[in-house]
Structure 1
Amino acid sequence: MDAPVTTFDLLRHGEPAGGPRFRGSVDDPLSPAGWAQLETATAGGAWDRVVCSPLRRCREFAEVLARQRGLECRVETDFREISFGLWEGLTSAQVEAAYGAALANFWNDPVAHPPPQGEPLADFCARVETAWQRLIADSRGQRVLVVAHGGTIAMLLRSVLGMPLSHSWRVRMGYAGQARLRLDHTPHGVLMALLRLDPGV
């Protein structure tokens, strides 16, 4: 008998209202353009269930899509974005003006150079991985759409690809970027593969 196959479509939220800025826990809704980006990204897709971050830029679209398709929508609290601490709500230019080289250091090695009072990357990775394992366990054989954040998706892809934690930000997802993961449940364990990557806009 063929091994059960689970497919996960990872979808980053669209453009939020308020323009580009650090928004980990800042809970902005989607802009009209952001809604349109996600509608285009999900057109023609077929899933058995939807899972999303609790933040508005993910949850509000996910709940509408699930209701339109007659699907369950589960809010996964641990899929929320990393907290950027004192950088929350600031633009990159504002962070550079106030903190100098700290921003470049963070992008190059987020483990060694976290934002001040921000969530340590190892803690962020651990909570996303815990939620990921829960999702794998209760989605066997299903097609699942996960609406989440660039950082959350980077953690999931890092895990699948076996990348060092310090290289996490080398996986960049634009607004409405997508990745498809395939999990084969075999007698030898779960085999994971990245099937498709569309970085979005």
Structure 2
Amino acid sequence: MTKLYITRHGQTEWNLERRLQGRMDSKLTPLGEIQAQWLGERLKDEKIDVIISSSSGRTIATAENIRGKREIEIIPNDNLREIYLGQWEGMLYTEVERQWPEEHKNFWNFPHLYKPINGETFSQVIDRVGNEIEKIITQYKDKSVLIVTHAIALKGIISYIEKKDLKDFWSGAFMQPTCLNILEANKDNRKFILMGDTSHYKVEEEAI
């Protein structure tokens, strides 16, 4: 059995500003660092053989905070980066909604109709992260791997594993910062046994 612990990065400055990140980056907030440390404390007794992180700064920083003082290698991976949002990257949600109202509406409500402005489609994200997850399962057979990625990339992994219709991309739990998802995989089966869990949070606060 291969076990994947999959999480999203901690809260960032741009999350607070309601600014779209995609392939661009912003620093973790103090709360974002603490969220990662909470998850690290939760996983401290779990055997983790390797950490594979999106190569973005916010995910690498999250991986380091989760790892803490444990001696576990962190491997950057470009294929686990967030959806590429093209012209939207670095813009406020309100700016995008004002300039591209139809595509903004489709992005959040009708993902099967979303047409990016020089960016990736949801289908392309699902293919990209799905292929990478299969590679990781093969390469780390019978190991335990921590994967640190992003909200939409994580939803893409879930959509791939659960074979969701594209229109249902956003269904299910919202991926809060450092939420825990656990995927078990063997030769013939892949199954999430935990999804979107934030029971390691020490304060009653959602931080999108």
TM-score (norm 1): 0.88
1:139-150 mapped onto 2 (5 Å cutoff): 139-150=140-151
Q: Which amino acid aligns with 2:21?
A: R
1:44 to 42, 45, 55: 42
1:39-188 mapped onto 2 (5 Å cutoff): 39-45=37-43, 46=46, 47-63=48-64, 65-66=66-67, 68-171=69-172, 172-185=174-187
In the TM superposition, residue 183 of structure 1 has moved relative to its aligned partner by 1.1
In the TM superposition, residue 64 of structure 1 has moved relative to its aligned partner by 5.1
Q: How many residues were matched structurally?
A: 193
Return the alpha-carbon distance in structure 2 between the equivalents of residues 67 and 93 of structure 1: 37
In the TM superposition, residue 147 of structure 1 has moved relative to its aligned partner by 0.6
2:4 to 1, 8, 21: 8
Return the alpha-carbon distance in structure 1 between the equivalents of residues 140 and 68 of structure 2: 19
What are the Cα deviations for residues 37-68 of structure 1, in whole angstroms up to 9, with x where unaligned? 11112213121211100001101231454472
In the TM superposition, residue 112 of structure 1 has moved relative to its aligned partner by 2.0
Q: What secondary structure sits across from 1:169 in the alignment?
A: coil
Q: What secondary structure sits across from 2:55 in the alignment?
A: coil
Return the alpha-carbon distance in structure 2 between the equivalents of residues 83 and 12 of structure 1: 16
Q: Which amino acid aligns with 1:162?
A: K
Q: Does 1:34 align with 2:32?
A: yes
Is 1:49–1:66's contact at 8 Å kept on the other side of the alignment? Answer: no
Structure 1: where are the runs of 5+ without partners?
none
Structure 2: where are the runs of 5+ without partners?
199-205
Q: Bigger shift: 66-75 or 43-52?
A: 66-75
Structure 1 moving runs of 4+ over 3 Å: 63-67
Return the alpha-carbon distance in structure 2 between the equivalents of residues 96 and 156 of structure 1: 26
Is 2:82–2:153's contact at 8 Å kept on the other side of the alignment? Answer: yes
TM-score (norm 2): 0.85
CA RMSD of aligned residues (A): 1.7
Q: What secondary structure sits across from 1:170 in the alignment?
A: coil
Q: Sequence identity of aligned pairs in percent? A: 24
